[in-house]
A and B are shown apart, each in its own frame.
Chain A
Amino acid sequence: MTAPAPIPLLAVPTVPLLALDTVWFQVAGTVCNLTCSHCFITCGPTNRRHAMMTRAEVRPYLDEALGLGARDLYFTGGEPFLNRELLAILEDALAIAPTTVLTNATLIGPDLAARLRALERGSRYSLEMRVSLDGLDAAANDALRGEGSFAEALAGLRELARAGFDPIVTVAQTWDEADDAAMRERFHDTLRAEGLPRPRVKVLPLFRVGREVARTRGYAETERLTPEHMLGFDIASLQCSSSRMVTSRGVHVCPILIDAPDALLGRTLRESMRSYPLAHGACHTCWATGATCRN
Chain B
Amino acid sequence: MEPIAVLGGPYGNHLALRAALLDAVARGAERIYCLGDLGGFGPRPGAMIPLLEEFGVVTVAGNYDRSLAERSPDCGCGYTHPADNAFARIAYAFTDARTSDPDRAWLGRLPSELRFTRGGRRYLLCHGSPRRTNEFLFDSACSDAFLARLARESGADQVLCTHTGLHWEREVPGGARFVNVGAVGRPANDGRPLAWYVWLAADRHEAEFISVPYDAEAMAREMETEGLPPEFAETIRTGWWTTCLEILPAKERARGRW
Contacts and interface: CB of A to CB of B under 8 A. Distances in A.
A134 interface: no
Contact of B140 (A98, A164, A181): A98
Contacts of B142: 71-72, 98
Contact of B143 (A70, A127, A181, A198): A70
Interface string B227-255: 00000000000000000011001111110
Interface string A88-99: 000000001110
B253 A166 contact: yes
A162 interface: no
A75 to B, nearest CB: 15
B145 interface: yes
A122 interface: no
Contacts of A71: 141-143, 146
A67 B249 CA distance: 24
Contacts of A98: 140-143, 249
Nearest to A22: B146
A174 interface: no
Contacts of B140: 98, 124-126
A165 B253 CA distance: 10
A202 interface: yes
Contacts of A128: 249-250
Contact of B146 (A70, A166, A185, A203): A70
Given A126-B251, A127-B250, A202-B80, A69 B149 contact: yes
Given A67-B145, A69-B146, A70-B143, A184 B254 contact: no
A97 B250 contact: no
Contact of A72 (B139, B141, B148): B141
A120 interface: yes
B71 interface: no
B120 interface: no
Interface residues of A, number: 31
A200 B244 CA distance: 12
A203 B143 CA distance: 26
Given A125-B141, A184-B80, A21 B146 contact: yes
A198 B251 CA distance: 14
A126 B249 contact: yes
A67 B252 CA distance: 26
Nearest to B131: A19
A81 B63 CA distance: 40
Interface in A66-117: 66-72, 96-98
A115 B142 CA distance: 23
B123 to A, nearest CB: 21
B148 A166 contact: no
Contacts of A96: 143-145
A97 B145 CA distance: 8
A22 to B, nearest CB: 10
B204 interface: no
Contacts of A185: 82
B121 interface: no
B81 interface: yes
A144 interface: no
Contacts of A165: 250
A201 interface: yes
Interface in A225-239: none
A203 B250 contact: no
Interface string B176-197: 0000000000000000000000
Interface string A116-147: 00001000111110000000000000000000
Interface string A35-75: 00000000000000000000000000000011111111000
19 contacts: A66-B143, A66-B145, A67-B145, A68-B149, A69-B146, A69-B149, A70-B143, A72-B141, A72-B146, A96-B143, A96-B145, A98-B141, A120-B250, A120-B251, A126-B250, A126-B251, A127-B250, A181-B85, A184-B80
Interface of B: 80-82, 85, 139-146, 148-150, 152, 245-246, 249-254, 258
The 9 residue pairs across chains A and B that have the minimum distance between CB atoms: A69-B149, A97-B143, A71-B146, A126-B250, A126-B249, A126-B140, A126-B251, A69-B145, A181-B82
